[in-house]
Amino acid sequence: MTMIIYETLRLYGPSNGMMRRTEREVQLGKLVLPASIDILVQNIALHHDPHMWGDDVHLFKPERFAEGIAKATNYNAGAFCPFGLGPRNCVGMNFATMETKIVLSMILQRYTISLSPTYVHSPIPYITVQPQHGIQVILESLGNDA
């Protein structure tokens, strides 16, 4: 389940960028950034970069995390940052991950989930990344009272 959550956050994490401000002039690769400018660091771009993830970057492959985040990112700490990075990263990270696991476990004990034929795959950035037309799913009861 952890691998599925990671891969979902990689491809469709709600955050598509983090704001930062330069305190002083800094060199970033070939770029020289002046002091006091705002930068939008697009984690969504890092998560979709084939140089980091390979040619299958756009495929939903939870197994890429089978040996952990470090291995999946080839030990590049910045390549996977759905909750941001550094001292101002998301304070809700552990809560959100635990909540996701609890909710999924509760649903999967009672139902199977499949996508409805009416579902149209169209994630769009609108403050957060969202499914443009919603996510229509079909829940089928497993017939137990778990």
Task: Establish if 90 lies at the interface with ligand HEM (CB under 6 A).
Answer: yes
Query: Following DSSP, what letter does each residue of 91-145 receive, concatenated?
Result: TTHHHHHHHHHHHHHHHHHHEEEEE-TT----EEEESEEEETT---EEEEE-S--
Helix (H) or strand (E) holding 27: strand 26-28
Instruction: Report the residue from 10, 11, 18, 46 that binds ligand HEM according to the rule CB under 6 A.
Output: 18
Among 6, 7, 13, 44, indicate the residue that binds ligand HEM (CB under 6 A). 13
What angle do the packed helices 93-110 and 2-12 form, to 10 degrees?
120
Q: Which is nearer to ligand HEM, 18 or 72 (CB)?
A: 18
Considering only the stretches 9-17, 31-39, 44-52, 133-141, report the one whose residues sit in contact with ligand HEM under the rule CB under 6 A.
9-17
Please tell me whether residue 39 binds ligand HEM under the rule CB under 6 A: no
Closest CB 84 distance from ligand HEM, rounded Å: 2
Q: What is the distance between the alpha carbons of residues 58 and 67, in angstroms, rounded to a whole number? A: 20
The residues pairing with 123 across neighbouring beta strands, listed in sequence order, are 131
| Interaction of residue 94 with ligand HEM, rule CB under 6 A | no
Q: Could you say which of 1, 2, 14, 76 contacts ligand HEM (CB under 6 A)?
A: 14
Residue count, binding to ligand HEM (CB under 6 A): 16
CA R_g for the chain? 18
Give the residue with the Cβ less far from ligand HEM, 2 or 114. Answer: 2
Residue 115: name the closest of 97, 132, 139 by CA.
139
Residues in 68-87 at the binding interface with ligand HEM, rule: CB under 6 A: 82-86
Give the binding site for ligand HEM (CB under 6 A): 13-15, 18, 82-86, 88-92, 95-96
